[in-house]
Amino acid sequence: MSQYLKPNRFAVRLNSVIGWLARRGISLAGAADLAVRGRKSGEWRRVPVNPMTFQGGRYLVSARGHSEWVRNMRAAGGGELRVGRRSRPFTAVEVPPAETPALLRAYLARWGWEVKSFFGEITPDSTDEELLAAAPRHPVFRITES
């Protein structure tokens, strides 16, 4: 599935502000500025994300689906997370959808208030089967800092 929920003008502006704040050291609800090289241009592309720690691993979840940053991450195999002056390069491996229900549950428990409109009826209390059905629409990457 290649679903992508494109942000409206308000969301684009809000993401710009959140990214700008993260680059200056102000992380709202754990947000960081993700930089990943464009798969066609090779130029750095930036977007705010919510990195998540789960059972000792670090993950990025795409609430909006198969977005540009997801496509770029697949091509680049990594990127950089920044909060303030601290920049952390990382490598990324996409987690197969069959292995993501617990990750999606944890992500929704932490940021459901922010991303619920992208998940429809799926909540942290959804069954494993419901989360598994939603998993292909929400790519997840395990990240390892370089």
Nearest to 34 by CA among 3, 71, 78: 78
9-145: CATH, from 3.40.50.2300, 3.90.1150.10, 2.30.110.10, 3.30.70.250: 2.30.110.10
| Cβ-based neighbours of 1, under 8 Å, separated by 6 or more | 65, 66, 136, 137
Task: Name the least confident of 3-12, 105-114, 120-129.
Answer: 3-12
Q: What is the pLDDT of residues 73-83, one digit of tens each?
A: 999 999 999 99
- For residue 1, pLDDT over 60 is answered with no
Question: Does the predicted TM-score (pTM) go above 0.85?
Answer: yes
Q: Across all residues in the chain, what is the average pLDDT?
A: 92
pLDDT band of residue 6 (cuts 50, 70, 90) is: confident
56, amino acid identity = G
In which element (H, E) is residue 73 found?
Answer: helix 68-76
Joined together, the tokens standing for residue 120 give 């429809």
Q: Where are the domains of the chain?
A: 9-145
CB of 92 closer than 8 Å to CB of 78: yes
CA distance linking residue 8 with residue 60, whole number of Å: 22
Judge contact between 3 and 66, C-beta under 8 A: yes
Over residues 34-42, the mean pLDDT reads: 95
